[in-house]
A and B are shown apart, each in its own frame.
Chain A
Amino acid sequence: MTDTSNTAFVRTETIPPSPPPAAETGAIKWLRENLFATVPNGVLTIIAGYVIFLALSSVIPWIWNGVWNASSLSECREILDGTRGACFAVLTERWPQLVFGLAYPSDEYWRPTLAFFLLFFAAAPVMFFDLPRKMLIITLFYPFIAYWLIWGGTIFVPILAFAGFAAGYLVYRQLVTNSFAAGFLGGVVVAFIVWWIAGFLVPDGASDNAMLSPVASRDLGGFMLNMMLGVTCVSLSVPIGIALALGRQSSMPFIKWVCVVFIEFIRGVPLITLLFVASVMLAYFFPPESTVDLFLRVVIMITMFSAAYIAEVIRGGLAALPKGQYEAADSLGLDYAQAMRLIILPQALKISIPGIVNIAVGLFKDTTLVSVISMFDILGFIRGPLSSTTAWNGIYWEVLGFAALLFFVTCYGISQYSQWLERRLATDHR
């Protein structure tokens, strides 16, 4: 090589790295990549930005100017004095009725509130498996405690109901070692015998001076009613749904046929017609002298409704299991009940959990439909008693928005839980 001193210039040190151009860093780069990548994209951004601006510019002042203390809509308007603003005073004034309904005795509000908070302790061990298994005891007792807290009356009813279940379970434990069918049938029969005897044990006037004063079902209302219907019907419909799904997959033609007809029938009609059945038709099918209250009739119909949908989700889970699992269960010499309980259902249910949660969310939203058959759940209360009072006649957005917010928070929470569960249960390493 020639002498380098003859060449004009050769750099001897490396150039220090310089920062990227302004358009390629930080916020500007992010904006360019995510909002203004191409011309049509930029136009879309501007349109979307304008839509957001329009929405926020009308909603934010409305909420900001909101009046929280007034006794009627006209008083609200006086305070607002022509400026645009919400009248949230209706929420503060009518809060107990929005939550507990019109007729629930106000001295007893602590009872449903306590039941609501206990619900978290009861649901927690079912929802989060890391919690100590002993907490399931709370779940076991919860339905009876909650029933007693909300409806009040004599404590004998929930205790004897529990006794029936306990006796049934003990008999089942004894007989199940022989065969599942015998255990199951024996348990059911014993439970019914205990309940039948219990019917004579509760004296007639037991509820009159009970610890908790009795509350009639028709006095229940507000968001509490939605919660009660949602929780009761979902928890009742899961076991029925499992049974229906197994029945539909069964090799016994008669049972399969019954399940198929039931599922397709329920899924083919809207919930409203089933609620009509509950409110105007179902009473005809009970014995003439009995009066089954509307709440129970609605629970029966909604449970049937969601059980049919849950059955289809679980059927999907059963079908998604590889055939090898069924064959493996057979090869171990397990009978049908054992195979289902120990091998098939745990896996099938795991697959169907997100679907079941979806159904639960949908069902919870559908509990607002009871307002159509004049039960005063939160929506029924807003549309009926609230809008017909002179003080709050003509108020829409605040109360409807409040109801929407309640449902949104609950449903969004449940769906986030479902997504967490899906990630948590993803045991296949893909």
Chain B
Amino acid sequence: MSSITDPDTGSFRLSMLINDTRYRSLTFQAIAAVILALSFAYLGNNLIQNLRQAGLNISYDFLGAPSGYDINQTLIEYDSRSTHSRAAIVGILNTLLVAFLACLTATIFGVLAGVLRLSNNWLVSKLMAFYVEIFRNIPVLIWIIIIFTIMTAVMPAPRAFRGDEPEATMLFGAFAFTNRGIYIPAPVWGPGSIVVVLTFIASIVGIFVYRRHATKTLYETGRLLPTFWPSVALLFIPVILMQLILGRPVGLDYPVLGGFNFSGGLQIGAPLIALWFALSIYTGAFIAENVRAGIQAVSKGQTEAAGALGLRPGRIMSLVVLPQALRVIIPPLISQYLNITKNSSLAIAVGYADVTATLGGITLNQTGRAIECVLLLMLFYLTISLTISAVMNVYNNSVKLKER
């Protein structure tokens, strides 16, 4: 609302505080501030009294004390003698890990499902509509628990892989799907592996250089160089050659059944997989709807005009439709990424050691420091949320339609 200013009518009277638009907003704000301050004072006073009655005080000393509990999945070194703050950091890293993985796969699922839902193929589009409706209308917590149940109750135990006639067999002799999680080969960095890694990085740089060169050639001469296959070749051939020349410095450590469980390899625990997969397919359904809306928002005339220029369907999609659709897709995509990060706190339901489970779960229960733990937890999520939305807004602005 635009504000209308009353004409100056001379001296100040008390009634002008409420009747004069010049002072009224100030009056209201002062009243609001007083009410807010009073309620905060009331709550704070209650808090102080309650804490005194319970013999507590607000202190963050517990963060330095030994935690005394184990965490089954950690990205950094951690044992039960580490401090509570280190347990919290382990949890934070686990949260970031699952959020990152889920964002990645949810985008893939979502884009696939969104594009396929617009397919001319009746069966495929109906199947995708079914997928979207089923996942959007059932709580994510139920999905997490269903997938966790599949992982823990339906998958074979590690001992099923034993014996001459095992009940279960490993996929390609390298992947084992058990009720404790999935075992995959882990890379082993032998001497000289640094060269292979550097070659890989150089290949990626090479791909960018080549693509830039291709674009430049296209603009200068109109000649279209192939990009896809040369990129693939650039990505793989130098690394494989270097690997062979140096005598396989980068090896793989296969999981082997020994004792009661697999040893070696890399274990991805069942809770992580359940959470990751459930968040991906759940959020994928929402992203699919965003993608569909984005593509449908590009007017059909654009596709037809591109077709009239003689572009092939693939190029129409990548050069005309997608760049315009992305502007519509990206803002809701940001909030879906935020949702994934926040929903990863449901890890506590399946026992994945994210920050809600370590700081907000075991640490809180052991130390009884409810206020401190919950405040730290909120602070963490708030920081993450604000960071993601800030970063994505920068990107959003960079693809925004430049209007003049």
Contact = CB atoms under 8 A, between A and B. Distances in A.
Interface string A251-284: 1111100100000110111111100110011011
Interface string A276-298: 11001101111110000000000
B382 A51 contact: no
Given A369-B141, A400-B142, A407-B139, A268 B149 contact: no
Given A269-B385, A400-B149, A326 B2 contact: yes
Majority SS at the chain A contact face: helix
Interface string A178-207: 000100000000000000000000000000
Interface residues of B, number: 56
A361 B137 CA distance: 8
A58 to B, nearest CB: 12
B127 interface: yes
Interface string A203-223: 000000000000000000000
B32 A258 contact: yes
Given A51-B127, A276-B360, A326 B1 contact: yes
A269 B378 contact: yes
Interface string B130-159: 000110111111100110010001000000
B3 interface: yes
Interface string A336-359: 100100000000000000000000
B2 A37 contact: no
Interface stretch (B5-13, B116-124, B162-170): B116-124
Contact of A330 (B4, B43, B345): B4
A234 B346 CA distance: 22
Given A37-B121, A45-B123, A276-B374, A365 B139 contact: yes
A182 B18 CA distance: 10
A330 B1 contact: yes
Given A252-B29, A255-B28, A366-B139, A281 B2 contact: no
Given A273-B381, A365-B138, A288 B46 contact: yes
Contacts of A302: none
Interface of B: 1-4, 18, 25, 28-29, 32-33, 36, 43, 46-47, 49-51, 53, 119-124, 127, 133-134, 136-142, 145-146, 149, 153, 342-343, 345-346, 348-349, 356, 360, 364, 370-371, 374, 377-378, 381-382, 385-386
Nearest 4 CB-CB pairs, A to B?
A270-B342, A34-B122, A411-B137, A365-B139
13 contacts: A34-B121, A44-B119, A48-B127, A251-B1, A254-B33, A258-B36, A267-B385, A273-B381, A280-B370, A280-B374, A372-B346, A372-B349, A400-B146
Interface of A: 34-35, 37, 41, 44-45, 48-49, 51-52, 181, 251-255, 258, 264-265, 267-273, 276-277, 280-281, 283-288, 326-327, 329-330, 336, 339, 361, 365-366, 368-369, 371-372, 379, 383, 394, 396, 400, 403-404, 407-408, 411-412, 415
